[in-house]
Amino acid sequence: MQALVIAAHGSHLNPGSSEPTFAHAETIRATGAFDEVREAFWKEEPSFREVLRTLESDEVYVVPLFVSEGYFTERVIPRELRLEGWNVSDWESDGTDADHATLSAADVEKTVHYCGPVGTHDAMGDVIVERARSITEDRDLADFGLAVVGHGTERNENSAKAIHYHADRLRRSGLFAEVRAVFMDEEPEVDDVATLFETDDVVVVPLFVADGFHTREDIPEDLGLTDDYRRGYDVPTAVDGVRIWYAGAVGTEPLVADVVLERAADAGADVADAIAAVRERTRSGPEATTGTATGRSR
């Protein structure tokens, strides 16, 4: 038997935080690719500490629903799962290309395939494109600028690396007229989106796993879409003569389920049929995109 665990942050305060996790888990459950699919959280339940014991499978694929490599994927999750002998060098990553490591956990007799986070997988580029397509209602993106929004450095330099990684790949894909990485707490800032781009239309896609106060409140206000997020805003909204199409957290995009599966597949899970089924269900436009346009980097 094989199981999938989607490991996410969750929240004691924001009930929406875990919604994408449950939604993607449900999508994957419906494919039947895994005998068991379980959500696990740092702040909700089951906790990372106790999720493995809830499974009957002896092969477990753990995919972190996090944007970047760093504190949670490198320290917290392996520690709480009690992965024996974990060493971050097992991932052989320079910050954006963690793949997977096969380990055992101290409290259960199972083989755990610990995968890199969803956010840095190449297929996440496709999700960003998908998000841009759906928010612009399938307009021709070749006329659009794309701003990929990240948190910024804060406690973790890899968080900015992940944003740049996708921005660079998407720029090379030629799908957009212009692509830039912007941040909440470092330059170039999200506040300046309207002046940073030369295009008349800019799609703004935050690389966040769930909608929370950053994506619902801070970013719309920083972008100048509204003075007060509670009053809402239109999509698009003109700011300094630039039409801004604000997409909200990319992590809520149904196609993220595909990235979760890709992670598990990279680690050896037999899920090819499920990947095809999920793409069928969650993708709106033609088979994309960044992978074909720029070539997979691995």
Partner 1 sequence: MTGDVAALIEAAGDGIDFDGLVVEDTAYGYRFETPEVSKRGIDTSELAALADGDPYVANWRYWAETVGGRGTARRAFLRWLEGADAAGTDDAESGDDTEGDSDAGRGDGAQRGDTDGDEGGDDATVDARERLAALRDGGRARTWGELRIRVRLADAGGERVYDVRHRDDAAADPRDLDAFRDPGAAHDLVKYDDRGRYRPLSTAPSLPHGWQFVELDGDALVDTVDFVYPATVANWHREREGALDVTHWRETAARQTGIYGLVSDLPTEALTWAAEACCVDSQCLKRREWDHDAGTELDVPRGDGEFPCREPCSLFVAAAREFTKLEGEPEDTHEVTLSESEVEGLGDLVDAVAEDRVDEVREADLDDGANRYRVRYLRAKRGRDLGIDS
Interacting residues with partner 1 (CB under 8 A): 11-15, 22, 26, 29, 41-47, 49-51, 53-54, 56, 71, 75-76, 79, 107, 155
Smallest distance from the beta carbon of 109 to partner 1, in angstroms?
12
Smallest distance from the beta carbon of 80 to partner 1, in angstroms?
8
Pick 107 or 198: Cβ nearer partner 1 = 107
Q: How far apart are CA 142 and CA 152, in angstroms?
A: 27
- What contacts 91, CB < 8 A, 6 or more positions away? 69, 74, 98, 99, 100, 101, 116
Pick 80 or 97: Cβ nearer partner 1 = 80
Smallest distance from the beta carbon of 263 to partner 1, in angstroms?
22
Smallest distance from the beta carbon of 87 to partner 1, in angstroms?
17
- What contacts 81, CB < 8 A, 6 or more positions away? 7, 48, 49, 51, 52, 62, 105, 112, 114
- What contacts 233, CB < 8 A, 6 or more positions away? 220, 225, 226, 246
Pick 70 or 125: Cβ nearer partner 1 = 70
* Three-state DSSP state, 6: strand
Pick 19 or 97: Cβ nearer partner 1 = 19
Pick 211 or 266: Cβ nearer partner 1 = 211
Smallest distance from the beta carbon of 12 to partner 1, in angstroms?
4
Pick 11 or 111: Cβ nearer partner 1 = 11
- What contacts 139, CB < 8 A, 6 or more positions away? 201
Smallest distance from the beta carbon of 22 to partner 1, in angstroms?
6
Give the chain's length: 298
Taking Cα atoms as reference points, which of 21, 111, 15 lies closest to residue 60? 111
Smallest distance from the beta carbon of 43 to partner 1, in angstroms?
5
Q: Tell me the torsion sign for CA atoms 130, 131, 132, 135.
A: positive
- What contacts 75, CB < 8 A, 6 or more positions away? none
Pick 141 or 260: Cβ nearer partner 1 = 260
CB 7 within 8 A of CB 62: yes
